[in-house]
Structure 1
Amino acid sequence: MSDHEIFDELTSEQPARPAPRQRVRGGGGRLNLNARWVVAVLLAAVVLAGTFFVQSFSQRQAQPSASPSLAVPQGTVGGGESAIDSPAPTGDGLTLGTNPNAVEARPSARASVVPIEAPVRQNPDRSDPEAVMKAWAVTWSWRERPQESARVAEWVEPFSDTHVPDAFATAEPVVGVQAPFMVTDAQVLPRSKNQGIDTDFRKSRVVRVTVRDHRNVQVVLTWELTTLQDEAGQWMVTDVSMTAWEGVPS
């Protein structure tokens, strides 16, 4: 056998190779199949992610939003209509608010912590200079409402011949109390060194008045008063000044 015959035999035994066009087509089919699988997986992942996002958003929308708690406004204690106990008169004809547990006869327009009695018109013994000074200080230091100067001036007119600025004419006077406030105690003390000496027709004294307002704030007011006696033997307040005020523990 010649060399050409051996070569021809080897050549004829090898399988025939596919044409170049056929190899390209076969490879392209496999690539298309893999691409479709990848696209399908990606689409499934996108659908699942979208479903999870929608569910999460719906749950957040369904939950009530948290808001800070608001402070509940505190209620106020108002005065109620009730019978008022009669204040106890003093030995010199002076009437004070001596019953701190008495309730106002009328409802108060302002919030109250403690009940305050209405002012009581004083009727002092005009022949006693100390009784006159005490009655003046009590009348001037007892207020049912601010700006009561006219009522106070009318009540002290029978035993007063003086005009003084009203220290309680505003809603919040400088002395620390707020109307309504009442007198709970009044004491007549010897005259101060700033006052003139006593004579047969002139007497001077210091009157200390304790007042308590509707908030249970207590203040001691110190008044210096002078009285003169008229021809009929009646005493009348002629000079007044408030020299001090100080708070008292409740």
Structure 2
Amino acid sequence: MKRVEGKVALVTGGAGGLGSAAARMLAREGAKVVVTDRKEREQDGLAVAASLGDGAGLFVPLDVTKEADWAAAMERTLAHFGRLDVLLNNAGMGIPKDIESLSLEEWRLVHAVNLDGVFLGCKHAIKAMRQSGAKGSIINVSSVAGLQGTPTIVAYGSAKGAVRMLTKSVALHCAYKGYGIRCNSIHPTFIETDMVDALAKSSGAPAKARANMARSIPLGHLGEPDDIAHAVVYLASDESKLMTGAEFVLDGGATAQ
């Protein structure tokens, strides 16, 4: 259908999981995609960018916690594709510890990636979108953990809750300034990704942990990366032109309880 034809999107954490699924679906729907990830994942990121088709993908190394990296990524994007229409702030991490076992250093690391990275992305994307005259869409991946208490992943829940409110503030700022830039958050439940696999393995009983995750979802099963990618395409497209400062919840009914 080419729902995002002519748009340029930048995806963080694009070397795998939700990021790579979103990058591929955006490209299938007509977008050019800048795939970004940490330098250590460059080969995976290059492979994702190459899979998007001739001229449709570009890999740029980006540590989302470093402002200089963000500035360089935006410069590369504008130089290569001439504009920026969509930012997917997807990069994230979690440490499965409660308030008593988590160290201050671990707390700061999770917030640096999951919150500071989103702040920097929003800040630099607004500048790039305005510079290229785009009516843009910023999409921040939060989590169901940003809507409900998370005793066993306390830093992750805290950061994702802050992303929810940051999204609303950015949305209102851009709306009141008349920029034509929208900002929304996505709140997934457990999705079949490396992060969920790592969370299950950290329990010492992966099969049991995965079964418990599935039981926590009223629909009875974990989500798939494409479930989130479909939402990304909608929010990136002009179909969602009236949607800003909103929460797109994909949780299999978890928050309806």
Tell me if TM exceeds 0.5. Answer: no
Task: Determine which structure has more spread, i.e. the larger CA radius of gyration.
Answer: 1
What TM-score, normalized by structure 2, do the two folds share? Answer: 0.26
What TM-score, normalized by structure 1, do the two folds share? Answer: 0.26
Structure with the higher fraction of residues in strand conformation: 1
